[in-house]
Structure 1
């Protein structure tokens, strides 16, 4: 007998919860999630923010980069690739003078250092972008997401 009124073949779900608390009388907030690690968020100075945290749209790009980074590192580790350093720079393009102003294009530039096959790195990134990264799946319907790759010798 099902007590939650969902069909037994319904997909399993997981609820994610964060809390946002206002820190000052302007736009400085502190957010916490499951890890209980505080993240500071603030508005731009030109609207009254104080540069006391990341901007909300920056957090979207950071989330996208970190989601993909976890995937790529896990995949490369399984492929026994030696990663000495791992960085991603992300550039997102948004329209000016319109609201809302979602990203239209986003490019992630992966910079890996170590004994890493370029083919394996590209395959790992492709798997992240096309199969595993939930942030990519969330953003892709409204933004064209591309990537580039640099592998630096160990």
Structure 2
């Protein structure tokens, strides 16, 4: 079958880079958090096998996690391991025994404005703004409202 070039039509989808309802500035990907059943083994993989630099473990009892950050040139991985009896990571690992991606963290300039905006767009937030692993205000957005992904917003 032959086609004449004049009969072909190309369709391009364009995406708005400046939504009219935007009131907060979305920044870069801060980190991808990975729940792991063995924190030291996971850190050794990224450090010894892949050559990344990793931080020392840090216990965050108020969040129910122990974290290690894997520093990459353009972002970080946050390795998460349960800390304490009420750890949300323990529940995640019960369902995903080998671990896996837990959430992604995006930077925002003003977390209060971001929370107001996402609530106006009917996106549920999980809890209140609190201080996260980097010592900065954070909030989580419900995965059911974010295409199945748990999204953390962190003020920079």
Task: Please indicate, yes or no, whether the TM-score normalized by the shorter chain is above 0.5.
Answer: no
Say which structure is richer in helix: 1
Structure with more contact order per residue of length (Cα contacts < 8 Å, sep ≥ 6):
2
Say which structure is richer in strand: 2
